[in-house]
Amino acid sequence: MNKPALLLVTMVLSLIALSGFDSSFSFEKDFPADLNGPDVLAFANLVSTVEIAREKFRSLAVAMPEEAYPWQPMDGVRSVSEVYQHIAADNFFVPTLMGIAAPQETGINEDASTFRAFQERELTRDEVIETVEASFEFLSRAMQATASDLDRHITLGTSETTVGDVWIRAVVHLHEHLGQSIAYARTNKVVPPWSN
């Protein structure tokens, strides 16, 4: 991971830590002792923020009543259900760009059309919640599998980047949709369980 990206990750994670978030992620438990370099330490913190997002998405998805799942703020914008399905699809899809195969039952591979097909499925509220949880489990395992490979160069479309950079983009994407989900919840008079 290059120094500007490492600095950005460190700053973001410091702000999150100061905000009082907690996580059960353990660097010592989840990463081997021979991966204790500064890049890997910052990456462990990035993985930890995914676990925080995972818990927030799960608790918010559970708090949203079934009748709110089709709600959307206007035509042409994703509904509550579609936002969660988009997150799940992305969690399964992004690792395929780094050569990590998604679970076969998802039908997702590195072809973006499989990502689109997955997120357009008709699912019940309970199926959406289950799918989001499974996608975060897969994403976390995929991130940990690449902890020693962050500087490996990969191609996204026509751009050259690194594995570490893709993970930063994935985490930013998660938080973009977490904010969207919070706004959707509050509009439907649902208070996010972790706040007042």
Residue ranges per structural domain of the chain? 3-187
Maximum C-alpha span of the chain: 52
**Structure-model confidence comparison of residues 145 and 20, the more confident one:** 145
The pair of three-digit structure tokens given for residue 2, joined into one six-digit string: 């290059």
Distances (CA, A) of 79 to 33, 108, 179, 184: 44, 22, 14, 9
- The pLDDT tens digits for 117-166 are 999 999 999 999 999 999 999 999 999 999 989 999 998 888 899 999 99
Q: pTM of this prediction?
A: 0.79
DSSP 55: H
Q: Are the CB atoms for 142 and 100 separated by under 8 Å?
A: yes
pLDDT interval class at 3 (50, 70, 90): low
Q: Which secondary structure element, helix H or strand E, spans residue 178, and what is its range?
A: helix 163-187
pLDDT in tens, 26-84: 445 554 444 445 455 588 888 999 999 999 999 999 999 999 999 999 999 999 999 99
pLDDT exceeds 70 at position 9? no
Task: Please give the Cα distance from 194 to 196 (Å, whole number).
Answer: 7
Q: Tokens in use for 180?
A: 């969207």
C-alpha span between 61 and 125 (Å, rounded): 8
For domain 3-187, give the CATH number: 1.20.120.450
Query: 87 and 177 in contact (C-beta within 8 Å)?
Result: yes
pLDDT given for residue 51 in this prediction: 95
